Amino acid sequence: MTPPPPDHGEEAPAGSIRLDKWLWHARFAKSRSRAAALVESGAVRLNSARVVKPATPVRIGDGLSFALAGRIHVLRVRALGTRRGPAPEARGLYLDLDAASPALEPDREAGK
């Protein structure tokens, strides 16, 4: 009997997944390297704590917040995902807790 092929670190998510992979699967970043850069910049908070390591594990029920594209995203992780699928599939990975928040705009009164 032959042994199974090596895994190379790409396991199916059992109880957690890397933060950069989750952001990529949920389509908040166009590539995994961009997701990693977002995390390394210190812009992402996991359960209210700032994280800077892309390999930080994310679990179902965790809260995420980050600013991206002029909007502050506040999310609850609903699923871990196994691939980067289409947008409707990606939206199923999280619950947007701040869906009614307006986009960030410069303070127009401050410029006067």
Could you read off the pLDDT of 53-81 as tens digits, one per residue?
999 999 999 999 999 988 999 999 999 99
Question: Of the given ranges (21-25, 31-35, 61-65, 101-105), which has the lowest mean pLDDT?
Answer: 101-105
Would you state the structure tokens that stand for residue 109, as one six-digit string?
Answer: 């009164």
Q: What letter would DSSP give residue 26?
A: T
Superfamily of domain 17-96: RNA-binding S4 domain (3.10.290.10)
- Name the residue among 95, 96, 93 with its Cα closest to residue 13: 93
Q: How confident is the model at residue 10 (pLDDT cuts 50, 70, 90)?
A: very low
Q: Break the chain into its structural domains and give their ranges.
A: 17-96
Q: How confident is the model at residue 3 (pLDDT cuts 50, 70, 90)?
A: low
pLDDT at 92: 96
The model carries a pTM of 0.76
